Amino acid sequence: MYLPFLATTLAILPAGALNVIDLSSTPWALSNTDRNISVPGNVPSSVHLDLFAAQVIPDPYHGLNEIDLRWVPLSRWNYTAQLPTTISTSADEGLKTYLLFNGLDTFADVRLCAQLVASTDNQFRQYFFDVTDILQSPACQQQQQQSGSAELQIEFASAPTVAEAIQNQPGQETWPPYVGTVMEFSGRQFIRKAHSDFGWDWGPAFSPVGIWQKAWVVQLAEEEEEVYVRNSVFDLYREGQLNNLPPDQGAHWVLNASVDVIGVMPEGATMKYRIVDAATQREVSSGALTGIKNDGDVITGSVVLSKDDYALWWPNGLGPQPLYNITVDIVSPSGTTLSSVTKRTGFRTIVLNTNVVTDEEISQGVAPGNHYHFEVNGHTFYVKGSNFIPPDAFWTRVTPTKIRQLFDAVVAGNQNMLRIWASGVYAPDYLYDIADELGILLWSEFQFGDALYPVAPDFLENVRMEAVYNVRRVNHHPSLALWAGGNELESLELRIVRYFAPGEYARYLAEYEALFLETLVPAVFGNSRSVSYTPSSTSNGTLSIDFGRPIPIAQRYDDLAPGSVYGNTEYYNYSAAQAFNLANYPVGRLINEFGFHSMPSLASWRRVLDDADLHFNSTPIVQRNHHNPPSGLDPSNTAPSLQGMGEMTLAAQAFYPVPDKKTASSSSSAANFSAWCHTTQIFQADFYKSQIQFYRAGSSRPERQLGTLYWQLEDTWQAPTWAGIEYEGRWKVLHHVARDVYAPVIVAPLWDAAAGTLRVYAVSDLWGEVKGSMSFGWAGWDGGVVSLGGGGGGGVQGEVEFTVGAVNATLVAELSIAELRANPDFRAEDVVFVANLTASGVPPNEQATRTYTHTNWATPTPLSSAALVDPGLRVEYDSSADEFVVRAETGTSMWTWVHVHEDDADGVLVNFHENGFLLRKGEERRFGYDRINGDGGDETWKERVGVSSIWDNTLP
């Protein structure tokens, strides 16, 4: 069960007059005077959601409402509340009163009793304001006498309007052409707000405003030594550990605790700690922190903890996730506990290793250069995962339940890491809490991406405070794997500058370093020794790390030696003709982005479109497709979107039978549209599968490739995107296929047309040796075994034994395409290559040997030209086992797809445990399912589950 309070910073136990009012429970009103709108408001919330709840606007996600509702983000809005009468306003009581906001989005004037308290300009910062004098002023006293309470008003300006005004200021920073692509609204790099709120190529530009995080009123009697905890950091690291460098795994642990308070910490205050096993509630250790440093508003202390007392936390698939509750008490000189902070954490080290490749490693076949891989608790492991984007355009309606659902899918998909992409928002604590429990590492990024930024002192200071707040807030989570400065800054933006303005490159590089090295490195390293930092998500890595320098990190940029391999890569190619060309795939140490877009299912489209719009290039679908980005607000400029639609169309036509269902009725028209949507998903999955196999096999090649993060895990709305999971939680074909090729031990056939070979690898990410056997051969679409003769001619078939080393791959067989095509018994359109693997090995942190099996395939010609036959698929529900059974009775089924009938789409949302698989004639597959939109109700849907394959595309 998810217990969010365990990981939340708690301020408890103080005596005296401490009064904390949660403003979420206070009635709020949302108003716009110019439009004569006044409706109930909520905290946390946003203007769009409150207007929708009051039925002033329709569902923002329906149809073209992103465009039709543009007036909302272009207007000014007021949130108003009457402060509770439990707040004392008497000067005689000697109280200090503060307003505390964990998130105001973004440009807000805070007024109390009509008097300006402060103005804010950063969505990502925590703000607190002393309002004692205002609350006790004659104007406020008079207002309370007249109305019974003091009025708090938050007035929000239009973020796009302010951003554009800042951008157009005389003398404002400018950049060379193509730096900082405009999605829809412009000026995002000048303000500290989620960039994706201004549009992205997978999401809408609603630019929401509002009180998007919790808010409080805090009253303290400072003469009674009262304080209120507003933030804190617990840092667990090995003795002697330094950021970005592998630590000594035999060293003891250090707990460093630092607590930020509202109020004044009394001189002589001390700190105590207690560590409890979260599962058993057994106390493991307790005592006093030493080396106390009291700065009045921050108190810090540390203690050395025995390395033998704590079980290690491991990522998914690499071991268990033991968690501990650490409580730190702040104690006054008189012995009174002023406040306590409890956080749930785990003991682990996680390092991004960018060290130079050693001579010994080079002698073993590793290419010279620098590493770029992760090590957990001293163990190198293969990163398997995807990229996480904002799961909704309105973060305030994202719930722990939704994140739990997504992260359960991550675990089920054999993934161990997510990259929390820059240009959204900093993830909430509950997201890290769930990742802690499930063993999902989170590559976390500061919110900068695809742009360069101003370096005016006030901008840098704003960023520094944002960074310090968020680093301290989430550092205790064992799932925190890395801080990256931003997205595609070195791989894209600096290279654009070098190309278009080489004479100004030195200037812009210095500005880049002022923000991403000189500002963000101290924010991370000054608050944590347990986490690594890299300035840019995709880069050639570090040139050197030297803690004798003020800024220890020096980036490599393009200082590259021939024949060496550096850093991490990304790959996007939207030419269908080049999709499966292995020669195009980048060679690097880790790949953190790659992908291709696809359509969501008909069931998803039906949630947001009218029936008349359910066809491939309908106006709403084209305008909801933001690839390529529209680069402005003109809804009539559909050329970029049509280009993206064309890319999906050409890919589907090139590689698969083209759906051509009869369109005499609306139902058959929808069926044709559904088949087209599904075919784009099959191409997407097929393309990702090809790349994941290539990168995983790269663990054995000179690049020693040790990580794969595809773009992207999930959708933010219903639209053509790169997602593997649709907005409502339905798995696309991609997530099923990624789950399969992310299994610990797989067979990976790599069809290299340029090299003229089919290479078949056994791949393992286990930490020990794996032994097994692989059988492979050719199957006909009619289900029979195709014999191509022995020896040459591509007729290699039978069984081969193999051994794979730790986190590695072994080439098991290599077939010549030229010899294959020269074989008179070979007809490419009639056959599919099928390989089956059985192997044994010991999983990480386990003792017993486990058996692994895997099946994979490759086709020597696109399925668009294959001589497919009806596989005779049948599906039935076995109520005794609560499983579904699929059989192929007359032929080979490719891309077998089990689905809930379209008529059930609104009431039943189910993900089957297996899907998108190959099924040979006479084979059957049994699997369960997950109902992800609630249980109970009508269960007759189980009798209306259908099954199809790519052959169904050939049917009218």
Give which of 696, 705, 723, 701 is closest to 854, Cα–Cα: 696
For residues 113, 118, 120 and 124, what is the CA-based torsion angle, rounded to 10 degrees? -90
Pair 336, 289: CB distance under 8 Å: no
872: left (phi over 0), alpha (psi -120 to 50) or beta: left
State the DSSP code for 466.
H
C-alpha 921/C-alpha 873 separation (Å) is: 9
10 Å CB burial of residue 510 (0-12, 13-18, 19+) is: exposed
Pair 745, 837: CB distance under 8 Å: yes
Pair 833, 795: CB distance under 8 Å: no
Q: Is 488 a catalytic residue?
A: yes
Q: Please count the residues of the chain.
A: 956
HSE-up of residue 121 (Cα within 13 Å, Cβ side): 13
Angle of helix 457-474 relative to helix 429-438, nearest 10 degrees, comes to: 40
C-alpha 350/C-alpha 348 separation (Å) is: 7
10 Å CB burial of residue 224 (0-12, 13-18, 19+) is: middle
The three-state secondary structure class of 891 is coil
For residue 217, report the phi and psi dihedrals to the nearest 5 degrees. -110, 130
Give which of 733, 712, 684, 713 is closest to 914, Cα–Cα: 733
Give which of 625, 622, 623, 634 is closest to 597, Cα–Cα: 625
- Indicate the residue type of 810: T
C-alpha 235/C-alpha 879 separation (Å) is: 51
Pair 189, 453: CB distance under 8 Å: yes
State the DSSP code for 658.
P
C-alpha 513/C-alpha 520 separation (Å) is: 9
Given 225, 375, 445, 488, which residue is catalytic? 488
HSE-up of residue 508 (Cα within 13 Å, Cβ side): 23
Q: Other CB atoms closer than 10 Å to residue 371's CB: what's the count?
A: 24
C-alpha 110/C-alpha 375 separation (Å) is: 46
Pair 871, 921: CB distance under 8 Å: yes
3-state secondary structure 934-955: CCCCCCHHHHHEEEECHHHHHC
Pair 678, 733: CB distance under 8 Å: yes
Pair 774, 836: CB distance under 8 Å: yes
Which residues share a beta bridge with 710?
Answer: 386
Compute CA distances 794 → 193, 641, 781, 953, whole Å. Answer: 58, 44, 18, 30
Q: Could you tell me which residues come within 8 angstroms of residue 38 by beta carbon, excluding any fewer than 6 positions away?
A: 29, 30, 31, 32
Show the DSSP H helices in 625-665 as ranges: 639-655
The DSSP code sequence of 503-562 is GGHHHHHHHHHHHHTTTHHHHHHTT-SSSEEES-SSS--EEEE-TTSSS-EEE-TT---T
Residues assigned a catalytic role: 488
